[in-house]
Amino acid sequence: MSNFTFLTEEQCYSDLDIFKKRGTKAAITDFSILLGGYVSNYHIGNDGSLEGRTGFYWTKSDDKDNDARVINDSGMRSWRRVYLRCGGARLALPFTSIGSIPTNVVSRKRARDGIYEVEYGYYPQKAVPKDMQIKLEQAFKSGRLSKTGNGYTTDSKKYDAYSEKFEPKIHEEYQYNGKRYVRVKANSYFDGKEFQLSNGEYYRDGNNVWVEVQPVKWLVDEKAKIMITEKLIFSGVQFNNSRNYHTGDFDKTDIKRFMDEYFSKDLEQSMKPINLSEVQKEKIEKAKTRQTRLQKLNPDDTAPSTRVNMTDTEIIHNWIESGESVLLRGPSGIGKTERIKMLYPDLIYIKLTNNMFPEKVVGSVNLQTGESIPPDFAKTVIMQEATEEERKSIEENIQNIYDIADTVYERSKNSRKKVVILLDELLNVKPAVQSLVYTLVLNRIVEIGKGLKLPDNVVVVATGNQKKYSVVAEDLAEPLEKRFDHILDMEPKVGEWITEYAIPEKIHPAVIGYILSKYNSSGKSENKEDIGYFYEEPEVGEEHLDTNGCKGKTNDPRGWTSISNTLYNFERNLEAGKYKGKNVEDIIQRSIETKLRMEWASEFFDFYNLPTLTPEEVVKGRYTQADLPKDISERFAYMTALITANEEQVEACREFIKKHCEPEYLSIYDIYWAGNDERKMEKISELQEIDFTGKEIKAFARDGLEKYADIGQMYRNYLSREARDKEEERS
């Protein structure tokens, strides 16, 4: 049984924010009108659109006289006979938390009145304009329309066939220029009279009308934890054929059975992206006639629609590998320094501070001998690139480093390896300290003695906070700012953190599961207003004072890493029996509350403590139907809980996820479980019957984008640059 239901009459007239702000009236879709739905009188608006196209919709309350209560087209309470087919369905879907709200792969947004609007599922809704009606009909009759394999089930009976029971009729879905449509034979409430749809055209019963399949918009009531469709999404189905109804029997009604058996499946079937191959071919053909400069230069033969934007990390890596200096600016805790360290583990790290000695950057002079002494970092760089004989010469006499540096410089011109010098906190030091690195950034020369030339393959990268994020931040002097080839103002990005940091660094599965759950429920939005669960601006914490009047905590990626460490330590102590006789729920809750604001801490603890299964329980089948995941949050929790499977258990765990979750969860599971372990990667390849090498990686990424939104890209991003280069060479 699906979770789709109707509201009660009391809910429609209670304190639900949705109705307080939007009213109880609801518009009816063209598809519902064509299926026999009652629609109020309406008029043409100033912009040419139809206004006031409302219908009545069922509630699951009864009128104590065998009929159902409804909300009529004026938004008022009323009742209707349960055998009518002209009632509209305004579906309701309860949820356990904001993170469990199901959505398509689109952004969730908050409207001006404060109501969250999400898109979940696809369904036929709006009649297309007249010119498109003609095109689609011609293409249909000539056999040029391709079927998608999807279909939408409705009742085949005439809208006023009150005594006849439900008999399914399937409206097949067709694809045309990247959009989906169904062909509907009008069976309206108007009983043969002419009626008008939202495209401004008039129709009669029996006419064939093309209706576009569109995302279904839902309105979210955060307090009541329920979401309802904005419009009356279908009609033409009897509330109950028995002509006898009481509220407690709602789950046995004909319309509930219809929602469970047909609508719930139809709603989600089109959530996979459609095959755009014909559209892509058309674009490629057009591009052949007149190509842009980039089209001529680019040897990439993949379809433009399947190409993806590079992540921040990939862009930074591309700049560094091109020998270009980079300044990374952004708030603390989002991983500026960490991602450079991950890309170049052997980098030369220099932490800049206001009280540092200048010789750490520019070197010094021996007052007794007058000899120049290079800074330690410069000596380290040159020693790394020197031969064994050259290193011995430098150790014998530091002054030899100058001549050897010139030799190393010439030799390094042919080197593909990049040596990174990281200047950390450049924006948090005074201009006097900043000035020490001018020549280093511009010419890769250390100003000591005659000047020490660093190898040609050295690249300087610097990090720092803008003034809005740090009270000690300084403006970068213009001459120094212009010495950087690139200045990137970075913002936190959930998707990149998951794939490029959290998964490779084995962040606790509960943290990744929670972040993924929230990320997916927001339609993978990266907007600041949507990612408060992951990152909040510092001023947000000032708006949420705690019980003691202190500024509230804010979330950031570094904090989630800290929570991960806390969870691992807590679980190790728990398994070691250190908390015997103690309230362990209180221990971990209080630990989480030291890092997150109360509302976030409570929500995360609830996710962390969700019932899950262990790999052992899955392998041995020690679970019942009641133990299976029930919503999006639980699916993520189960998926991440099974990450601990060993190589003997992983096949059973994958089968469990495949059967009781969705392909997207399985793809994420494979990525996380394999990690950087080549043996585990091979194991996953065997289980997937895919060899992830060369062109096949590209094919998986391309197909993954079509099948699972961006999961293919997640896998590609996860592979290291070095591994990808090797695979390219092999292919």
Give the least confident one: 98-107, 283-292, 398-407, 458-467.
283-292
Note whether residue 554 is domain-resident. yes
pLDDT at 81: 93
Please check the confidence at residue 92 and state whether its pLDDT lies above 50.
yes
Please check the confidence at residue 133 and state whether its pLDDT lies above 70.
yes
Q: Work out the burial of residue 2: count CB atoms within 10 Å of its CB; fewer than 13 is exposed, 13-18 middle, 19 or more buried.
A: middle
Domain boundary among 439, 457, 489: 489
- How many CB atoms sit inside 10 A of residue 280's CB? 16
Compute φ and ψ for 688, nearest 5 degrees.
-85, -10
Q: Are residues 471 and 586 in the same domain?
A: no
449 against 686, higher pLDDT: 686
pLDDT at 50: 42
pLDDT at 42: 52
With cut-offs at 50, 70 and 90, classify the pLDDT of residue 726: very low
Q: Are residues 235 and 348 in the same domain?
A: no
Burial 208-222 (b: 16+ CB within 10 A, else e): ebbbbbbbbebbbbb
- How many CB atoms sit inside 10 A of residue 489's CB? 9
Note whether residue 4 is domain-resident. no
Give the least confident one: 205-209, 222-226, 390-394.
222-226
Q: Which of 494, 556, 496, 557 is nearest to 526 (CA)?
A: 494
Please report, for residues 112, 114, 223, the alpha-carbon distance to residue 540 in angstroms, rounded to integers and kept in the order given: 20, 18, 21
- Tens-digit pLDDT profile for residues 487-524: 999 999 998 898 788 877 889 989 988 998 888 778 88
The 8-class DSSP code of residue 234 comes to B
Q: Are residues 503 and 441 in the same domain?
A: no
- How many CB atoms sit inside 10 A of residue 491's CB? 12
The 8-class DSSP code of residue 28 comes to B
For 207, the enclosing helix (H) or strand (E) is none
- Tens-digit pLDDT profile for residues 343-370: 999 999 999 998 888 888 888 888 888 7
Helix (H, G, I), strand (E, B) or coil at 618: helix
pLDDT at 503: 78
15 against 147, higher pLDDT: 147
pLDDT at 728: 47
Q: Work out the burial of residue 92: count CB atoms within 10 Å of its CB; fewer than 13 is exposed, 13-18 middle, 19 or more buried.
A: buried
Please report, for residues 548, 682, 703, 726, the alpha-carbon distance to residue 695 in angstroms, rounded to integers and kept in the order given: 59, 17, 12, 12
Separation of alpha carbons 513 and 325, rounded Å:
36
Q: Are residues 479 and 507 in the same domain?
A: no
Note whether residue 446 is domain-resident. yes
Q: Are residues 539 and 403 in the same domain?
A: no
Helices (H), 163-311: 254-258, 264-269, 277-289, 293-297
Contacts of 466 (CB under 8 A, 6+ apart): 329, 330, 331, 427, 473, 489
pLDDT at 185: 95
Please check the confidence at residue 480 and state whether its pLDDT lies above 80.
yes
pTM of the predicted model over 0.75: no
Q: Which of 214, 251, 210, 239 is nearest to 229 (CA)?
A: 214
pLDDT at 105: 62
Average pLDDT over all residues of the chain: 84
Report percent pLDDT > 90 for the chain: 47
Note whether residue 287 is domain-resident. no
With cut-offs at 50, 70 and 90, classify the pLDDT of residue 17: confident
Note whether residue 276 is domain-resident. no
Note whether residue 275 is domain-resident. no
Q: Work out the burial of residue 236: count CB atoms within 10 Å of its CB; fewer than 13 is exposed, 13-18 middle, 19 or more buried.
A: buried
pLDDT at 704: 36
With cut-offs at 50, 70 and 90, classify the pLDDT of residue 709: very low
- Mean local confidence (pLDDT), 92-103: 81
Note whether residue 447 is domain-resident. yes
Q: Are residues 539 and 618 in the same domain?
A: yes
Q: Hey, what amino acid is at 242?
A: S
Please check the confidence at residue 632 and state whether its pLDDT lies above 50.
yes
Domain boundary among 419, 454, 489: 489
- Tens-digit pLDDT profile for residues 577-620: 999 999 999 999 999 999 998 888 999 999 999 889 999 999 99
Domain boundary among 489, 509, 525: 489
Helices (H), 327-375: 336-343, 359-362
- How many CB atoms sit inside 10 A of residue 360's CB? 16
With cut-offs at 50, 70 and 90, classify the pLDDT of residue 14: confident
The CATH number of whichever domain residue 462 belongs to comes to 3.40.50.300
pLDDT at 46: 46
Please, what is the Cα angle at 280 between 274 and 281, to 5 degrees?
125
Number of domains in the chain: 3
- Which residues form the domain of 371? 314-489
β-pair partners for 5: 92
Q: Are residues 354 and 205 in the same domain?
A: no
Separation of alpha carbons 463 and 460, rounded Å:
10
Contacts of 83 (CB under 8 A, 6+ apart): 162, 163, 238, 239, 240, 241, 243
Note whether residue 692 is domain-resident. yes
Give the least confident one: 364-373, 536-545, 713-722.
713-722
Please report, for residues 244, 245, 248, 676, the alpha-carbon distance to residue 64 in angstroms, rounded to integers and kept in the order given: 10, 9, 12, 64
Q: Are residues 243 and 369 in the same domain?
A: no
Give the least confident one: 52-56, 401-405, 703-707.
703-707
With cut-offs at 50, 70 and 90, classify the pLDDT of residue 272: low
pLDDT at 705: 30
pLDDT at 713: 39
pLDDT at 394: 92
Q: Are residues 580 and 625 in the same domain?
A: yes
Please check the confidence at residue 288 and state whether its pLDDT lies above 60.
no
- Mean local confidence (pLDDT), 527-546: 83
Q: Are residues 44 and 115 in the same domain?
A: yes
pLDDT at 718: 38
pLDDT at 730: 45
pLDDT at 104: 79
Separation of alpha carbons 218 and 275, rounded Å:
26
Q: Are residues 398 and 249 in the same domain?
A: no
Q: Are 272 and 707 in contact (CB under 8 A)?
A: yes
Please report, for residues 80, 475, 671, 707, 708, the alpha-carbon distance to residue 715 in angstroms, rounded to integers and kept in the order given: 54, 39, 6, 14, 11
Q: Are residues 37 and 182 in the same domain?
A: yes
